[in-house]
Structure formats: structure tokens, C-alpha cells
Amino acid sequence: MNVFEPLRNYILGYGDIGLVVWLVICILCVAVPVILAVAFYVWWERKVLGWMHVRIGPNSVGPAGLAQTFADVFKLLFKEYLLPARSSKLLFVLAPLIALVPAFAGWAVVPFDQRVVLSDANAGLLYVLAMTSMGVYGIIIAGWASNSKYAMLGAMRSAAQVVSYEIAAGMALVGVLICAGSLNMSDIVRAQAGAHGLLSWFWLPLLPLFVIYFVSGVAETNRLPFDMAEGESEIVAGFHVEYSGAPFAVFFLTEYANMILISFLASVLFLGGWLSPFPQRWPILGVAGWWWLFAKAFFFAFMYLWFRAAFPRYRYDQIMRLGWKVFIPIALVWIGMAGVMVYFGWFGLGGAQ
């Protein structure tokens, strides 16, 4: 970051206004790449699904269809957007924005590299949990404000599902914070550094919690095979059935930004963030850096698409059963296991200690 030090000092020289300007610049440095990543992720999803279905996927707009998403976005922006006559107007317009804010706010505490993070907050893990749990408001408000049966059903399903899986995801994170001894995201990554490369990350001692966290993440973002909120085959498109044009594009953006966020979080919390999978003493491969984090996040992002192509959808009662009767008991037992492992010092306790 030393390259930007003079610029930072110059802007901060303007006092409070300078501070705000500098913060806005920092936030844009994260938010704009996220938006671009969403665009390419949508293209990648359609390509991967195409290959898994033995099709070609988008291939016409731009080289290898790369500009397809941008074309779609412009189409959506230029479309008329409709306000249902008996909807709750203000909430109907606000809902996509309320959905969008938590999806981007969560990025504030994601550490991309050693000391490359927007806010190195002490309670980073809790903050992330709080932000992901707020994402459901956009869906509920959209469903209610639309004044439509299908939208309402989608919102109700989504509310119940997200609250249930939040508990499982939160318990998985408790295991992580027991092992790391800290709520700070950078400390959690540092606690995973070890002589054995990828074998010293948390995924190995916390394997059940790792699986629970990622599957709960898929459920919390309402992705297949848990897409009860949309349920195209039964409630048309669920909570956003009344939305068109730009507000619909915002919902779309939110969903994919959340998926990428969960991918990054899973890599930071369980797969050692920016650490290299190879032992540190190896010459080039052992060097830690942001590229490892991006590779891991890409892996999880790909898993999302793979799940979508490979699994049939869950029935609603099966989803609830999986969350409450399978994930939560396993997570509770493994939290106890994590405590025992830390107590007997089975793996190095880094971070705070």
C-alpha cells in the first residue's frame, strides 16, 4: 500500500471532508470490482451450465459471449419498470436497495491480503454475520410491498429459510472463532498459518463445520438446490415476480454479490484466506498473497454452479429438516469437539494467543 501513501496523505490533509473522500475512494475500490465480478460470474455461470448440459452457452455478444451480461444489463436498464397499482409504493421502490446494501456492506471486513482490508474491525466475524442476516429484509419487503400472492409466498418461505440456516451458519462460525481465538478476520487467517500448508487450515479439524457453513451459505443466498424464495416451477419467480427493468437488475446483482461474498468468506474462514496451500518454505509456490484467496473464492463460486447443475431441488419440509435436525445438532457437537481440541492443544492456537 506504500504506493498510495502520498495520495492518502494528500487527501487526508483536507480534514474531515478529505477523510470522507478517501473513504469513498476506498469503498469504490472494492465495490466496482465486485460489480464487474458479478457480470463475469453470470457469464461464467451460463457457460458452465451450458457445458454441463452439453450446450455451448452464450457465444454471440463479444468474444466468447463475454459481453452478454453487459448487453443484458443495458436491456434491463432501458426497459420500462412497472409499479403495481395496489402496491405499497415507497417500500416497493426501496426493497431492492434494502437488499443491495447488506450484500455490499459485508465486503468491508473481508481481508484480501496482509493489511489489505477496508476495515480491520475487531468484531469482524460478528459484523459479517449481522450483515448477511439483514439481507432477508429486501426479500421480505419486496414480497409484501408487491401485494401479490406469489410474491408474498416467496417472501414467507425465504424468511423462514434464512432465519433457520443463519443459526447453522452462526454455529459453524462459533467453531472457527474458538479455534482462532479472535473475531478479527485477519487474525483468523493468521491463526491458520502453519508449517504444513493446506493441512494446517481450519477445514481439516473443522470439516463438518466447513461443510455446514458452505451449504448454509448456499441456502442463505437462496440458490439452487435451496431456491425456495424464487421457486420458478411453483410460484413463478417468488418475491420479485412484480419487478421489472432496473429494480429487477438490482435484485439480480444482489444475489450474485452475495454468492461471491459467501465464497470469499468460506475461503477466509476455513481455507486460510491469502495463505498458500503449499508449505511456506517452498520457494515460489509457498509465498502467500491475494491470488490464493481469489483462486479459493473462484473454487467456491464454481461449486455454487456445480450444485445448481447437479442436484434436484429440495422440497420445503426437507430444507427445514436439513437445517434444524441435521446441521444444528452436528454443529453443536463439533463446537464441543473444537473446544476439546483447543483445550488439549491439538492444533496451534494462533491469533490472540
Partner 1 sequence: MNLILFYVFAAVLVLAALGVIAVKNSVHAALLLVLCFFTTSALWLLMQAEFLAIALVLVYVGAVMVLFLFVVMMLDIKVEPLREGFIRFLPVGVLVAAVMLAEMLMLIGVRSMQIAPPADPAGHSNTAWLGEALFTRFLLPFEIAAVILTVAVIAAVMLTLRKRVGIKSQNPSKQVAVKASERVRIVKMPSAVRDVAAKSEATP
Site for partner 1 in 33-92 (CB under 8 A): 88, 91
**Residue with smaller CB distance to partner 1, 91 or 309:** 91
What's CA 149's distance to the chain center, in Å?
Answer: 29
Q: Is 11 in the site for partner 1 (CB under 8 A)?
A: no
CA 30 from chain centre, in angstroms, equals 14
Specify the DSSP element, H or E, that contains 208: helix 207-220
Select 3 or 17, whichever has its Cβ closest to partner 1: 17
Cβ-based neighbour number of residue 41 at 10 Å: 22
Q: Are 297 and 78 in contact (CB under 8 A)?
A: no
Q: Of 35 and 352, which CB lies nearer to partner 1 in the complex structure?
A: 352
- Closest contact distance (angstroms) between CB of 322 and partner 1 is 10
Which residues, numbered 178-197, are part of the site for partner 1 (CB under 8 A)? Answer: 183
Contact stretch for partner 1 (CB under 8 A) within 1-9, 66-74, 154-162, 242-250: 154-162
166 contributes a contact to partner 1 by CB under 8 A: yes
Residue 271 binds to partner 1 (criterion: CB under 8 A): no
80 versus 317: smaller Cβ distance to partner 1: 317
Which one among 42, 48, 108, 152 touches partner 1, defined by CB under 8 A?
152
Contact 211, 327 (CB under 8 A): no
16 binds partner 1 (CB under 8 A): yes
Here the cell at position 350 is 494462533
Identified binder of partner 1 from the candidate list 41, 104, 112, 144, rule CB under 8 A: 144
Q: Smaller CB distance to partner 1: residue 137 or 302?
A: 137
Q: For partner 1, what does the binding mask look like between residues 311 and 330, x meaning CB under 8 A?
A: ------xx--x---------
Amino acid identity, position 79: K
Among 100, 129, 169, 235, binds partner 1 (CB under 8 A): 129
CB of 341 to partner 1, least distance (A): 18
Q: Nearest-CA neighbor of 270 among 339, 179, 351, 348?
A: 179
Figure out which of the listed residues 59, 114, 133, 244 binds partner 1, where binding follows CB under 8 A: 133
HEC string of 212-255?
Answer: HHHHHHHHHCCCCCCCCCCCHHHHCCHHHCCCCHHHHHHHHHHH
Measured distance CA(47)–CA(40) in Å, rounded: 10
From the list 277, 244, 297, the residue with the least C-alpha distance to 33 is 297
Query: Is 229 a residue that touches partner 1 (CB under 8 A)?
Result: no
Residue 136 touches partner 1, criterion: CB under 8 A:
yes
| Cell numbers found for residue 48 | 458452465
- Provide, rounded to whole angstroms, the least separation between the CB of residue 97 and partner 1: 14
At residue 247, what is the residue type?
P
Cell numbers for 119: 476495515
Question: Over the Cα atoms of the chain, what is R_g?
Answer: 21
Say which amino acid occupies 119: S
**Exposed, middle or buried: residue 245 (CB in 10 Å: 0-12, 13-18, 19+)?**
middle
**Residue 149 in contact with partner 1, rule: CB under 8 A:** no
127 contacts partner 1 (rule: CB under 8 A): yes
The window from 54-62, 115-123, 196-204, 335-343 that contacts partner 1 (CB under 8 A) reads 115-123
Enumerate binding residues for partner 1 (CB under 8 A): 16, 88, 91, 121-123, 126-127, 129-130, 133-134, 136-137, 140-141, 144, 152, 155-156, 159-160, 162-163, 166, 183, 317-318, 321, 352
